[in-house]
Amino acid sequence: MKEELKKLLEEAKQSLAEANTMDEAEALRIKYLGKKGAITEILRSMKDLAPEERKEMGQAANETKAEIEQSINARKEVLKSAAKQAKLIEEAIDVTEPAVEAKLGASHLISKTIDEITEIFMNMGFSVAEGPEVETVYYNFDALNAGPNHPSRDMTDTFYIDDKTILRTQTSPIQVRTLLKEPLPIRIIAPGRVFRCDTPDATHSPMFHQLEGLVVDEGITMADLKGTLDIFAKKMFGPSTKTKFRPHHFPFTEPSAEMDVTCFKCGGKGCRICKGSGWIEILGCGMVHPNVLKVGSVDTEKYTGFAFGMGLERVAMLKHEIDDLRYLYENDVRFIEQFK
C-alpha cells in the first residue's frame, strides 16, 4: 500500500505539472482528494488492516494527501497569476496611441438665441414665465383686448382645436396669466413656441418662436420701455447700436410702437440686409392697455406697465445673415455646427 501511495503521489505531481488551466487543476483535486477520489478510497480500504498496520498506513496516507493538496494549491496560484498576466496583456491600453475623436454636439441656433436674450433680461431683474401652447380663445384674444371681429381670429390665421381652444398665436396670453396669479410688481419675459396658419417658405412657418416681455409697477412710463429695450439692443447687437420707435397699433397696448435698430451689418449706412435704409425692424411694444390690466384686477389709477414681443427666428436670421427660415428647422448638422 505504501508503494501504491508513492505511485499515486508521483502521478498526481506529474498531472499537475501538465495542468494549464484552473479547471484542469480543480479536476485533479476531485480525482485525488474528492469524496470518491483515489486517496479517499485508500483510506476507506484500511478498515481491513490490523490495528498496528492501520495506524502506520493511515499516517502515510494523510501525509500523501497533504502533499497532493499542497501541490494543487501551489499549481492553482501559478495558474491564477498566469491568467492575470495574460488578461493584463490582452486588455493593455497604449496611452500613446491617438484616441478616437469625441464628436461634441452643438446647441441649436434658436436655443442659443433664447439663452442669449434671456440672460440679458435676467441681468436686468426679469424672471422667466411659461404658459400652455394649447390655449383658450379667452386668454389669446378676449383678455388681450382683441375684439370678436379682429382679423387675427380668422381660421386662415389661427389653428382652432374647437370653438374655445386654439394653438396659441402669440406668447402674449402669458401676460394675462401672470397678472392673474402673480403679485405686483411684475417683471417677466416669456419665450416659447407659437403657431399660425402659414405656408412654409423662406420667411414664414406654421410654427415659430416669440419672446414676450411684461413690466407692471407704479410709475412705469414709455421712457422706461424705451430705456429697457435700448439696453437690450446694445447688449444683443453691440454697444454702438441705436434704436428708433415708430407709432403702430396692437390691441393690447396703447400707445403702441415698433422698434427699429441700426443695421448691425453696415452700422446704419445702408446695405443689403437693411435694404439700404440703415434700420431693421426688430420688435413690437407699447404701454399695456388698461383693459388688459383690468382683466388682472390691476388698479389702473395706481399701476401702469409696458409690454414687448419679438420673433426669435427673425432676430437670429438678421443677426447671423440667414436668408431662409427653413434652414432653422431642417436639422442639418452642417448648418447647426456653424454656430458652435
For every residue of 190-247, DSSP letters joined together read: EEEEEE-----SSS--SEEEEEEEEEEEET--HHHHHHHHHHHHHHHH-TT--EEEEE
Number of domains within the chain:
2
Provide, rounded to the nearest whole percent, the portion of the chain with pLDDT above 90.
51
Tell me, what's the pLDDT at 23? 83
For 86-113, what is the mean pLDDT? 84
- 1: pLDDT confidence band, cut at 50, 70 and 90? low
- CA 172/CA 210 separation, integer angstroms: 9
Query: Identity (one letter) of the amino acid at 111?
Result: S
Is the same domain home to 76 and 158? Answer: no
Q: Which of 49-63, 85-99, 169-183, 314-328 has the highest mean pLDDT?
A: 169-183
Q: Is residue 264 part of a domain?
A: yes
95 domain-assigned: no
Which among 63, 90, 117 is the end of a domain? 90
- Of the chain, the percentage scoring pLDDT greater than 70 comes to 97
- HSE-up (13 A, CA, CB side) for residue 184: 18
Residues 216 and 156 placed together within one structural domain of the fold: yes
State whether 86 and 124 are in the same domain. Answer: no
133 shares its domain with 37 = no
Q: Does 167 or 36 have the greater pLDDT score?
A: 167
Q: Tell me if 103 is assigned to some domain.
A: no
Show which of 59, 90, 121 is a domain's final residue.
Answer: 90
Neighbours of 184 (CB within 10 A): 14
Q: Are residues 145 and 266 in the same domain?
A: yes
Q: Mark which of 56, 90, 124 sits at the end of a domain.
A: 90
Would you say residue 229 lies in a domain? yes
Domain that holds residue 242: 109-339
In-domain check, residue 98 = no
Q: Is residue 101 part of a domain?
A: no
253 with 322, same domain: the answer is yes
Using the predicted structure, report yes or no on whether residue 6 has a pLDDT greater than 80: no
pLDDT at 203: 82
Helix (H) or strand (E) holding 304: strand 303-311
Confidence band (pLDDT; 50, 70, 90) for 171?
very high
Higher-confidence residue of 285 and 72: namely 285
46 vs 58: CA distance, rounded Å: 8
Residue 323 inside a domain? The answer is: yes
Q: Is there a single domain that holds both residue 211 and residue 76?
A: no
Note whether 63 and 139 are same-domain residues. no
**Cα distance between residue 13 and residue 42, in whole Å:** 18
pLDDT of residue 2: 66
pLDDT tens sequence across 209-240: 999 999 999 999 999 999 999 999 999 988 99
Q: What is the CATH number of the domain that holds 231?
A: 3.30.930.10
Residues 44-80 pLDDT 10s: 777 666 777 767 777 777 777 788 788 888 888 888 8
Q: 28-32, 72-76, 321-325: which range is least confident on average?
A: 28-32
- Residue 177 — pLDDT band, cuts 50, 70, 90? very high
